[in-house]
Amino acid sequence: MPLVQLDDLSDRRLRPYSGMTDGQLKRGEGFRRDNPDGLFIGESGRVIERALEAGICPTSVLVDERWLEHDRPIIERVQAANPNAPIFFATARQFREITGYEVVRGALACFERPKPRSVEEVIAGARRVAILEDVTNYATLGAIVRSAAALGMDAVLISPSCHDPYYRRCARVSMGAVFQVPWARIEGDADWASGLVPTLRESGFVTAAMALRDDSIGLRDRRLAEAERLAVVLGTEGDGLRDTTIAACDYTVLIPMAHQVDSLNVAAAAAIAFWELGPE
């Protein structure tokens, strides 16, 4: 396992780990790259492992000396996937200086972004789909995708304004589930539902918008359980779904609650909905 002991922290190969945002990595700003779809950073052994299992190509690894032995099996898998990927070995001080992180959960790895999938590709053959509208909190998005993978959702669709599931914190919170469940970004503008929902309906999907409305049906309504193909639509924290999105869907659905609690955060609501409406 060849290691590169760092002595020059200005090495351009370290730039993905220092001074570049997730968005800049995705766009490849100021960084020469061969992959037109950009790069992303995976943090921790579990995230790196699941990215490798998904067949995503690593380009390098940066590891704090304190994690070297712990992450040695993962580093060896990176080398097997790409023998040309340098393994940068840093002292704790160097690692903090490069990344700015005081606390880490293992090695960091830089990966080539896979070519984006289309909506048609990820829903082909799917029976249960989660659709997320305007979820812009990295941790919330990661938690929802993790629940989607664990509770049997076949695919996840994200609206044009959602954060990117491959962003470092989102992938970390999802424990690498963003590489396990197929996902795609919906093209268009804020009124994505007016174009996509009719297409889903033509493909046999029933759409269920999770929202608190006077005409909402309960989560255990038999019409939802009996749907051969079902898309569960969830909105952003606080504001929930847009009125136009709710109007476009077949049903408006609520989770019955007690003790005068009026709502749950979207990550908790998603987990409950996926469990109740997922495949039997």
The tens digit of pLDDT for each residue in 203-259 reads: 999 999 999 888 899 999 999 999 999 999 999 877 889 999 999 999 999 988 776
Q: Please list, residue by residue across 145-168, b when 16 or more beta carbons sit within 10 angstroms of its beta carbon and e when fewer do.
A: bbbbbbbbbbbbbbbeebbbbbbb
Question: What is the structure's pLDDT at 73?
Answer: 94
Q: Are residues 157 and 133 in the same domain?
A: yes
* CATH number of the structural domain spanning residue 191: 3.40.1280.10
pTM equals 0.92
Q: How far is CA 95 from CA 18, 49, 88, 222, in A?
A: 10, 21, 10, 54
Contact predicate 280/168, CB 8 Å: no
User: Mind listing the pLDDT tens digit for each residue in 145-158?
Assistant: 999 999 999 999 99
Contact predicate 248/159, CB 8 Å: no
Amino acid at residue number 115: K
Q: Are residues 78 and 131 in the same domain?
A: no
Q: Are residues 12 and 128 in the same domain?
A: no
Q: Are residues 192 and 262 in the same domain?
A: yes
How many domains are there within the chain?
A: 2
- Domain span at residue 71 reads 4-112
Q: Are residues 179 and 245 in the same domain?
A: yes
* CATH number of the structural domain spanning residue 64: 3.30.1330.30
Q: Are residues 130 and 227 in the same domain?
A: yes
Q: Are strands 205-210 and 183-185 parallel, antiparallel or unpaired?
A: unpaired
Q: How far is CA 276 from CA 20, 148, 272, in A?
A: 40, 12, 6
Q: Are residues 95 and 203 in the same domain?
A: no
Domain end point (choices 83, 112, 141): 112
Based on the number of CB atoms within 10 Å of its own CB, is 57 exposed (0-12), middle (13-18) or buried (19 or more)?
Answer: middle
User: Mind listing the pLDDT tens digit for each residue in 156-202?
Assistant: 999 999 999 999 999 999 999 999 999 999 998 889 999 999 999 99
Question: What is the structure's pLDDT at 68?
Answer: 86
pLDDT range class, residue 31, cuts 50, 70, 90: low
186: left (phi over 0), alpha (psi -120 to 50) or beta: beta
Question: What is the structure's pLDDT at 3?
Answer: 80
Is residue 262 pLDDT above 70, yes or no? Answer: no
Domain end point (choices 97, 112, 127): 112
Q: Are residues 125 and 256 in the same domain?
A: yes
CB-based contacts of 121: which residues, under 8 Å, 6+ apart? Answer: 182, 184
Q: Are residues 92 and 42 in the same domain?
A: yes
User: Mind listing the pLDDT tens digit for each residue in 92-136?
Assistant: 899 989 988 766 678 999 999 999 999 999 999 999 999 999 999
Domain end point (choices 82, 112, 142): 112
Q: Are residues 194 and 266 in the same domain?
A: yes
Q: Are residues 48 and 134 in the same domain?
A: no
Q: Are residues 251 and 126 in the same domain?
A: yes
